[in-house]
Structure 1
Amino acid sequence: MKIALMNEFSQAAKNPIILNELQAVADEQGHQVFNVGMNGDNDHRLTYIHLGIIASLLLNSKAVDFVIAGCGTGQGALMSLNAYPGVVCGYCIDPADAYLFAQINNGNALAIPFAKGFGWGAELNLRYIFEKAFTGETGLGYPPERQASQVQNAAILNGVKDAVAKDYLEGLKALDPELVKTAVGGERFQSCFLENSQDAALTDFVRSVLA
């Protein structure tokens, strides 16, 4: 599995801590991590609005399989990511959230509140979140006696989003060009996206923005 980590400006200083815990879990499980957001206060500046654009491009192009995002409260990142087709983002405070989201909703992104409660033991909480998010088979439902209805409802909700959403590429073209240009301006994002994108139309779009 390819996993992208992205931090916005308010939590950029915590990126090394988060990356270290994610990388440790990924290494144990054979996943690949791409650190595509900010990795310090002086890095290419991104807001949670930019994270939504970045995450949607990576997931819709199949450049990555899963996104770990967040902001101070996690709520902005949650709303920003879920604004796009092809992105199913859950809100995650603790390992139980990660496990239940993986089993019941079976999405492809998590929004974490990196400022809320980020004190003693924060790195342990992150480690356990990532372990629960990426260990074992997902989408099995919870509790076991409700497995069938949970799987069915998750599929229905995904279908609803597909039905009401406009064409993804047309939606990107309707955004403020400067907003998109800033979102895709980071070197680590460009490396991850351009090397792994499986969608020629989206790749051409990003290249045209960067030109």
Structure 2
Amino acid sequence: MKIALMNEFSQASKNAAVLQELQAVGAEQQHSIFNVGMSDDNDHRLTYIHLGIMAGILLNTKAVDFVVSGCGTGQGALMSLNAHPGVTCGYCIDPADAFLFAQINNGNALALPFAKGFGWGAELNIRYIFEKAFSGEKGQGYPPERKESQVTNAGILNQVKQAMGKDFLQGLQSLDQELVTTAVGGERFQTCFLENAQQCPLKDYVRSIIAA
């Protein structure tokens, strides 16, 4: 599985610590990790608004399979990512959240609070979150006897979101293009996207923004 980590400006200083734990779990479980957001306070500046655009692009072009995002409380990233078609983001503060989201909701993104409650032992909590989020088969339900209804409802919710939203490419084109330009402006994001995104009109559009 290809997993992207993205930090915005308020929590960019946490990137190295979070990346270290994600890479450790990724190595154990044979996942590829891409650090596509801010790596420190001096990096290409992003807000949680940009994280949503980035996640939508990476997931809808299949450049990655899963996105780990966050902000101070995690709530802004959660709302921003879930605003985009093709992104199903869960809020996660502990390993139980990660396990239940993977089994019940079977989404493709997480939003974590990187400031609130991020104190002593935070690196352990983050590691255990990643272990539960990415190990084993997803969508198995919890408790197991409720799997059928949970899988059905998760699928229906995805259909509702798709029906209620614009086509993703049309949505991006209707945004203030400066938002999109900033979102795709990071070098590591561009490398991940250009090397892994499947060929489609969305890729052509993003490539034209990068080349401009």
SS in 2 for 1:181: helix
Structure 1: 5+ residue stretches without partners:
none
Mean CA deviation greater in 185-194 or 145-154: 145-154
TM-score of the superposed pair, with normalisation by structure 2: 0.98
Matched residue, 1:117: 117
CA drift of 1:109 comes to: 0.1
Tell me, yes or no, if the aligned pair for 1:62 and 1:199 is still in contact at 8 Å.
no
Tell me, yes or no, if the aligned pair for 1:36 and 1:192 is still in contact at 8 Å.
yes
Q: What is the Cα-based RMSD across aligned positions, in Å? A: 0.6
Matched residue, 2:52: 52
CA drift of 1:44 comes to: 0.2
| One-letter identity of the residue aligned with 2:147 | Q
Tell me, yes or no, if the aligned pair for 1:75 and 1:113 is still in contact at 8 Å.
yes
Matched residue, 1:141: 141
Taking the TM superposition and a 5 Å limit, the aligned residue runs for 1:100-111 are: 100-111=100-111
Q: Where in structure 1 do 4 or more consecutive aligned residues deviate above 3 Å?
A: none
CA drift of 1:183 comes to: 0.5
Tell me, yes or no, if the aligned pair for 1:6 and 1:36 is still in contact at 8 Å.
yes
Residues of 2 paired with 1:141 and 1:115: CA distance? 30
| One-letter identity of the residue aligned with 2:18 | I
Alignment of 1:33 with 2:33, yes or no, is yes
The alignment-based identity, stated in percent, is: 77
Mean CA deviation greater in 142-151 or 4-13: 142-151
CA drift of 1:147 comes to: 1.1
Taking the TM superposition and a 5 Å limit, the aligned residue runs for 1:1-211 are: 1-210=1-210, 211=212
Residues of 1 paired with 2:93 and 2:181: CA distance? 31
SS in 1 for 2:69: strand
| Alignment deviations for residues 77-105 of structure 1 (CA, whole Å, 9 cap, x no partner) | 00000000000000000000000000000
Residues of 2 paired with 1:128 and 1:199: CA distance? 35
SS in 1 for 2:120: coil
How many residue pairs get matched?
A: 211
Mean CA deviation greater in 146-155 or 200-209: 200-209
CA drift of 1:209 comes to: 1.2
Residues of 2 paired with 1:208 and 1:32: CA distance? 26
CA drift of 1:33 comes to: 0.1
Structure 2: 5+ residue stretches without partners:
none
| One-letter identity of the residue aligned with 2:12 | A
Residues of 2 paired with 1:167 and 1:202: CA distance? 10
Residues of 1 paired with 2:164 and 2:21: CA distance? 37
Residues of 1 paired with 2:207 and 2:90: CA distance? 30
SS in 2 for 1:90: strand
Residues of 2 paired with 1:90 and 1:67: CA distance? 11
CA drift of 1:199 comes to: 3.4
SS in 1 for 2:62: coil
Residues of 1 paired with 2:170 and 2:42: CA distance? 33
CA drift of 1:125 comes to: 0.1
